[in-house]
Amino acid sequence: MNTSFQEAVLNMVKQIPRGKVTTYGEIGREITGSVRAARAVAQAVARNPYPIIIPCHRVVRSDGNVGGYCSGIEKKIKLLRAEGVEIKGRKVVKFKQTLFDFKK
């Protein structure tokens, strides 16, 4: 994987505030102009060397499903809930309202 791409992804992830989430596709769109980069973003997030400092648990799938996490899905859900993100099953409740907008 391109190191500068991974750095760009992790820099985007650092911008997501507590209590908000974004999608792999949105990060891809911000970096490349296309949501088609979502898989590459997911790979870069999975290689995050500092998963709490760089809050990759705040990146979810475009359907609101929490997706994967290096320490397991239950840990990701626990971290999101601790930040005030409501989760039901494995989905973010009020997904659209919880999405972070990089443009604001």
**Strand, coil or helix: what is 70?**
coil
Q: First vs last Cα of the chain: how many Å apart?
A: 29
| Annotated catalytic residue, options 10, 27, 56, 80 | 56
Provide the token pair at 67: 């997706």
d(CA 102, CA 21): 11
Look up 70 and say whether it is catalytic. Answer: no
d(CA 90, CA 5): 28
Residues acting as catalytic residues: 56
